[in-house]
Structure 1
Amino acid sequence: MSRRWLLLARLALPITLIAAAQSPERTPMHHATGTFEVKMTPEAQADAPTGGLPTSRMGIAKTFNGGMNGTASGTMLAAGTPKPGQPAGYVAIDQFSGSVDGKAGGFLLLHRGTIDKAGGSDLSVIIAPDSGTGALEGITGSFAIKIEGGVHQYDLAYTLPAK
């Protein structure tokens, strides 16, 4: 091995050890499930530019029951009209405050969703890194949404730093 590679290997080892020391141990994956109600309030709308999609900004207010108990408020930006044959997309951020499985605190949820012309959809909602507060400090995970019979259901898959 050349002298240069030996030097790089010696430098990499302490960096690897530092990174491992900074990565906190995590609890196993937990799931908080339940239902939520959502109220959307239009804040701004714009007509579609030539050949484009209409846009809107909506206020979001949610109330959670089940493994998550509390409220969330936020903002959604959308383009398009979510109906058959039409593409649409949205991004949103909302701030949850309450408790998760009895642990009080809050965190940010970041949303990204799309619908294609054929009706296929893709949704990703994650907990924003380092946004946890109170007993939820250090929380990481994702948030799945399912709507059946007009009822919004959620599954928050999360971990917390081990104590």
Structure 2
Amino acid sequence: MEAIGTFTVTAFVPAEPPEPVGEAVATGVPVGLATMEKRFEGEVAGRSATLFTSAFDEAAGNGTYLALESFDGALHGRRGTFCFVHSKSMADGASRTDFFTVVPGSGTGELAGISGGGSLDVDADGTHRVRFDYELA
């Protein structure tokens, strides 16, 4: 099944990365860590709590982010919780690779047994969209 919705980021809180194990490693892009909260509307309705990491040079448009989201809400009216993870890499401001998957075994309630993937996209007008391509066991 496919569920599509829009979302807004309602909180973005930068955090200090933990102290490295051993000697720190300097790279060509800064590494960041943050927590986020999002609100979803449409066939995907609810909220998520997100752990967000990145290695990104905003000025050059080069880098990657990785996010792990814990979702509480509904897909097509089926209520429950589950986790999903997604990442995107960019070079010179253009998307290069995407990854999006539901975490196996993370579903609860009417979303128990959920599996699948999806995507996150931003429209030209700034609207943020999410799509889940999912199955329920």
Range of TM-score over shorter length? 0.7 to 0.9
Q: Report what 1:107 is aligned to.
A: 82
Stretches of structure 2 that go unaligned for 5 or more consecutive residues are 19-24
Taking structure 2 as the reference length, what is the TM-score of the superposition?
0.85
2:120 aligned to which of 126, 134, 145: 145
Contact conserved, 1:82 with 1:115, CA < 8 A, in 2? no
1:45 is displaced (CA, Å) by 6.2
In the TM superposition, what are the counterparts of 1:41-56 in structure 2 within 5 Å? 41-44=13-16, 51-56=27-32
Contact conserved, 2:88 with 2:95, CA < 8 A, in 1? no
Stretches of structure 1 that go unaligned for 5 or more consecutive residues are 1-29
Which secondary structure state, in structure 2, belongs to the residue aligned with residue 135 of structure 1? helix
Matched, 1:34 2:5: yes
In the TM superposition, what are the counterparts of 1:14-163 in structure 2 within 5 Å? 30-38=1-9, 39-44=11-16, 51-83=27-59, 85-117=60-92, 119-148=94-123, 149-161=125-137
Higher helix residue share: 1
Distance change in 2, residues 1:98/1:81 (3 Å): same
Distance change in 2, residues 1:152/1:120 (3 Å): closer
Taking structure 1 as the reference length, what is the TM-score of the superposition?
0.72
- Paired with 2:85 and 2:16, the residues of 1 have a C-alpha distance of 20
1:117 is displaced (CA, Å) by 3.5
- Paired with 1:143 and 1:34, the residues of 2 have a C-alpha distance of 11
- Paired with 2:127 and 2:65, the residues of 1 have a C-alpha distance of 20
Which secondary structure state, in structure 1, belongs to the residue aligned with residue 92 of structure 2? coil
Higher strand residue share: 2
Distance change in 2, residues 1:50/1:154 (3 Å): closer
Distance change in 2, residues 1:63/1:51 (3 Å): closer
